[in-house]
Amino acid sequence: MPRETLDFSRRADLTELMDEPCSREEMRACLRDLAKVNRWFQGYRPVLHWLDSLRVDQTRGPIRILDVGCGYGDGLRRIAQWADERGVAVSLTGCDLNPDTIAIAAEASDKAIGIEWLAADVFSLDGRAPADLIASSLFAHHLVENDIVRFIRWMEENARIGWFINDLSRAAVPYWLFKVFARVARLHQFVQHDGPVSFRRAFVSDDWERMCAAAGLARCDFRIEEWKPARLCVSRTKP
C-alpha cells in the first residue's frame, strides 16, 4: 500500500482524541503512556537545561514555577527532582483546563512534593498563581495562532524572570517514525493517533518568529532552539 502524501509545509487543521470528552480512566491511561514517551525520549531535557542556565536570586524565597497545560504532572515532578538534586527551593504549580487531568496528576504525585494543582483556564489566573518562571510542554500545538500570541503576552505579563515553551517541530521524519514506534510499542490508542497528529499541528521556527513578533517581542528578546528528537523550544529570559 503506497504511503500517504502529506504536506508539512503548513500546519494541519486537525484535532486530537485527548482533547475530546472521554472517561477519567481513558485519560489516565493515555497520560501514563505520554509520560513514558517523555521519559524514553528525554522530553524534560530542554526545560531542565534552561533552568540550569538561569541565575535566580533565592533571597526572595522559593522560585515559583508554573506549568501550563501540565497534563499528567510528570514535568513538574521532574522539575521537583531537579530542584532537590541542586538544593534549590521551589514552589510548584500545575494548571490544566481539564479537571480530570488535574485530578489524575494530583493522584500520581507524592503529596510531600507540595505541588499545587489548579483546574483553570490559564487566562483566568492573573494574580492567582504568581510566578517567577512559566513553562509549558506539548501544550502550544493544541492552540490556534491567535491564542498562542495571547499566551505569549500573558506570560510576558505574569512571569517575573522568564518563560519556556517546549513543543514539537513539524516535520515528516518524526511523524513517520513516531507513527511506527507508537504502534510497535502498543501505546494507548489516543497516543497512537494523537502523536503523529501533534507533529502535523506543530510549528516551525518561522511560525514562532511571527507569533513572538505579533506578541510585541523583538527578535533579540527570545530564543528558538531545536532539541533532538524533534523538539522545538522557545524561551525568554528577562534582563
The domain limits of the chain are 20-168+204-237
> Cβ distance 115 to 91 under 8 Å?
no
Q: Which residues of 62-95 are buried (b: 16+ CB within 10 A; e: fewer)?
A: ebbbbbbbbbbbbbbbbbbebbeeeeeebbbbbb
> Cβ distance 199 to 230 under 8 Å?
yes
* CATH class of this structure's domain 20-168+204-237: alpha beta
DSSP string of 134-171?
Answer: EEEES-GGGS-HHHHHHHHHHHHHHEEEEEEEEEEB--
- From CA 153, how far away is CA 76, in angstroms rounded? 23
Longest dimension (CA), the chain: 63
- From CA 65, how far away is CA 114, in angstroms rounded? 12
pTM as predicted: 0.94
Q: What is the pLDDT along the chain (239 residues), one digit of tens a residue?
A: 345 568 999 999 999 999 999 999 999 999 999 999 999 999 999 999 999 999 887 778 899 999 999 999 999 999 999 999 999 999 999 999 999 999 999 999 999 999 999 999 999 987 777 899 999 999 999 999 999 999 999 999 999 999 999 999 999 999 999 999 999 999 999 999 999 999 999 999 999 999 999 999 999 999 999 999 999 999 999 99
